[in-house]
């Protein structure tokens, strides 16, 4: 399988990773290699294999519906580049 | 050309838990920004989501109430997209194996009768935070209190044929989630939201037309207006030779129009995959049976019982059973007073009007069902007239105590004593000789004038039927 330059660009965009034009060819080759590796599994007969949602043979534990967290806004917001009136500030997201 | 509309609705019901779906932070409405967003909601490195048991039980409850298949195993999946109010970079939702499978609802049609609408599935997911686009130094403010709030997304089959049916379906779900006490149904606060997938096709065509998803429908009225508008827009486009673009459109209630949300179009590639942080969720047969046993009487069953056992008309029964708290209030009034029809009239009339006017819930009503039952009894046993009763109701609303003590303290007891009524009637006739003359000369509509005078003289307390009877007797004498 060989990914096109456009597919590489789309994958990069979806992951919000900025890539250089001159590296696209190398990315395409590397990613195609990974896809080829995974594609080898198509040769295995999986007729009687149930789809697996999780590699561990365990079931989800549940928590009681209780409020256990306290307000730690001040502490959390010390990590934020910008805050105002308790809000985290981010670059404008509406056009 | 004749067109046919195809609508599918996605309803998001916020589950009435105390804590979030995957963390122990509170979901109480109206808190200071970011004071209810913990490490899990902020998606700090190394945190793990743990599913809220109550949220799962509520989803199962909904599934059982719509006759849906509730499978033993369901799994959570990641829906990947970037937005600043989604700190994880993905929403934990369900894709392949949702907690609730195929079910159905019967909705009332305007033309009478009902229509069965399929529910494709319902799945659990987490809500995102809120973006505030007011100007913060040219930046956007993010409040993550809502991030991680449990939602049940209820997806209908594309079996709804017009805006009216869409509203009927939405109302039905709205009543149901409140009956089940899994969602408070508060649309202003966003606890109950709806998106509509709308398309049109020529009548007779089998394939669906290209659909548009209309968002931001937070009232029944907007759902109807937005769908009607969108249907018109699509027909106009097709008839003028253009094509419908599959896209997300935002409804603007001020302008009554939908407009394209272009920003979302290109990134519509969510790359769902099973969430590795959450193991498969098991709903055991025991849990399912326990929840089934605890299901309340549902609106349709209650409505039918009101008709069959209490003898209410279908219209009254429908009106009274639509909301669980109103229905339960009515049952207490009817039982306490022993007067079914009169209780129904008062609950749907004076009580509902007052609740609407003051914009309060039944739970906060200053007139308890027991108090209203006492009032209804006094109307039934003719201690007071219906008109006087309205005044007493207002007094009870303002904290005046029970009906009997108000009647007593204000001297409102209806006058049914024939002697007293005869005396008043005689006096009114004596004071109005020319009207009496005209009446005797054949102007019988003057009876209304006399009744009015007597009622006025008795301060509304005389029994109107008796007054009428006495007047006719004395005037004709």
Supply the pLDDT for residue B303.
92
- Contacts of residue A55, defined as CB under 8 A and 6 or more positions apart, other chains included, come to none
Picking from B54, B141, B267, the nearest residue to A65 by CB comes out as B54
Question: What are the residue boundaries of the structural domains of chain A, listed by start?
Answer: 5-42
Instruction: Judge: A62–B136 Cβ closer than 8 Å, yes or no.
Output: no
C-alpha A75: how far from its chain's center? 27
pLDDT over 70, % of chain B: 98
Supply the pLDDT for residue B158.
96
Our CA-based measurement puts residue B325 at a distance from the nearest CA of chain A, in whole angstroms, of: 24
Strand B257-260 with B247-252, pairing: antiparallel
Chain B touched by A80 (CB under 8 Å): no
Supply the pLDDT for residue B268.
67
Asked whether the predicted pLDDT for residue B265 surpasses 70, the reply is no
Judging contacts by C-beta atoms under 8 Å, the chain B residues touching residue A14 are: 80, 267, 269, 271
Asked whether the predicted pLDDT for residue B412 surpasses 90, the reply is no
Q: What is the pLDDT of residues B39-53, one digit of tens each?
A: 999 999 999 999 999
Task: For CATH 1.10.10.410, list the domain ranges present in chain B.
Answer: 418-476
Give the separation between CA B339 and CA B326, rounded to whole angstroms.
17
Asked whether the predicted pLDDT for residue B477 surpasses 80, the reply is no
Q: Say whether pTM exceeds 0.90.
A: no
Count, in order, helices (H) and strands (E) of chain A: 3, 3
Supply the pLDDT for residue B174.
93
- Contacts of residue B320, defined as CB under 8 A and 6 or more positions apart, other chains included, come to B303, B306, B312, B326, B327, B330, B344, B347, B348
Range B284-289 average pLDDT:
96
Give the separation between CA A43 and CA A65, rounded to whole angstroms.
46
For domain B418-476, the CATH architecture is: Orthogonal Bundle (1.10)
Instruction: Judge: B274–A86 Cβ closer than 8 Å, yes or no.
Output: no
Angle between helices B447-457 and B433-440 (to 10 degrees): 150
- Count Cβ atoms below 10 Å from residue B292 Cβ, excluding itself: 13
For domain A5-42, the CATH architecture is: Orthogonal Bundle (1.10)
Q: What is the pLDDT of residues B363-387, one digit of tens each?
A: 899 999 999 999 999 989 888 888 8
Q: What is the pLDDT of residues B436-471, one digit of tens each?
A: 888 888 888 888 898 888 888 888 888 888 888 888
Asked whether the predicted pLDDT for residue B63 surpasses 70, the reply is yes
Q: What is the pLDDT of residues B314-338, one digit of tens each?
A: 989 988 998 889 999 999 999 999 9
Q: What is the pLDDT of residues B7-28, one digit of tens each?
A: 999 999 999 999 999 999 999 9
Give the separation between CA B445 and CA B434, rounded to whole angstroms.
14
Range B287-303 average pLDDT:
94
Q: What is the overall mean pLDDT for chain B?
A: 91
Judging contacts by C-beta atoms under 8 Å, the chain B residues touching residue A56 are: 279
């Amino acid at each position: 399988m060989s990914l096109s330059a456009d597919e590489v660009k789309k994958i990069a965009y979806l992951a919000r990773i900025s890539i250089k034009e001159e590296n696209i060819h190398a990315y395409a080759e590397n990613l195609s290699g990974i896809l080829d590796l995974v594609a080898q599994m198509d040769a295995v007969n999986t007729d009687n294999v149930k789809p697996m949602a999780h590699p561990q043979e365990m079931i989800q534990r549940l928590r009681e519906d209780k409020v256990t967290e306290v307000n730690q806004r001040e502490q959390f917001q010390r990590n934020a580049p910008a805050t105002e009136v308790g809000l985290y500030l981010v670059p404008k997201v509406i056009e | 050309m004749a067109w046919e509309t195809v609508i599918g609705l996605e309803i998001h019901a916020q589950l009435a838990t105390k804590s979030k779906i995957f963390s122990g932070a509170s979901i109480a409405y109206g808190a200071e920004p970011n004071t209810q967003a913990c490490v899990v909601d902020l998606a700090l490195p190394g945190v793990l989501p743990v599913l809220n048991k109550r949220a799962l039980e509520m989803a199962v409850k909904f599934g059982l109430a719509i006759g849906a298949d509730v499978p033993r195993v369901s799994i959570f999946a990641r829906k990947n997209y970037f937005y600043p109010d989604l700190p994880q970079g993905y929403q934990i939702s369900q894709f392949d194996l949702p907690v609730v499978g195929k079910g159905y609802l019967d909705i009332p049609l305007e033309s009478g009768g009902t229509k069965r609408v399929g529910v494709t599935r319902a799945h659990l997911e987490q809500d995102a935070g809120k973006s505030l686009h007011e100007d913060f130094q040219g930046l956007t403010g993010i409040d993550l209190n809502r991030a991680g709030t449990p939602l049940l997304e209820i997806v209908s089959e594309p079996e709804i044929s017009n805006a009216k049916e869409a509203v009927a379906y939405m109302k039905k779900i709205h009543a149901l989630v409140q009956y089940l006490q899994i969602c408070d149904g508060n649309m202003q606060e966003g606890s109950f939201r709806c998106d509509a997938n709308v398309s049109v096709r020529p009548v007779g065509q089998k394939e669906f037309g290209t659909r548009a998803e209309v968002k931001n429908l937070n009232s029944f009225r907007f759902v109807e207006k937005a769908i009607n508008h969108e249907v018109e827009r699509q027909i106009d486009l097709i008839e003028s030779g253009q094509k419908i673009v599959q896209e997300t459109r935002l409804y603007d209630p001020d302008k009554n129009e939908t407009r394209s949300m272009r920003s979302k179009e290109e990134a519509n590639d969510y790359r769902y995959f099973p969430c590795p942080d959450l193991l498969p969720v098991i709903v055991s047969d025991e849990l399912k049976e326990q929840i089934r046993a605890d299901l309340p009487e549902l609106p349709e069953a209650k409505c039918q019982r009101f008709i069959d056992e209490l003898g209410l008309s279908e219209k009254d029964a429908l009106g009274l059973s639509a909301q669980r708290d109103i229905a339960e209030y009515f049952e207490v009034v009817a039982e306490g007073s022993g007067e079914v029809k009169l209780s129904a009239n008062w609950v749907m009339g004076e009580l509902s009007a007052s609740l609407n006017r003051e914009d309060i819930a039944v739970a906060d009503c200053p007139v308890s069902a027991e108090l209203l039952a006492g009032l209804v009894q006094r109307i039934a046993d003719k201690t007071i007239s219906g008109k006087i009763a309205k005044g007493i109701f207002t007094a009870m609303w303002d904290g005046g105590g029970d009906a009997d003590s108000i009647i007593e303290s204000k001297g409102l007891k209806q006058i049914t004593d024939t002697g007293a009524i005869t005396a008043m009637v005689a006096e009114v006739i004596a004071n109005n000789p020319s009207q009496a003359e005209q009446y005797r000369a054949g102007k019988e509509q003057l009876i209304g004038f006399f009744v009015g005078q007597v009622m006025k003289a008795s301060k509304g307390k005389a029994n109107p039927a008796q007054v009428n009877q006495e007047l006719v007797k004395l005037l004709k004498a």
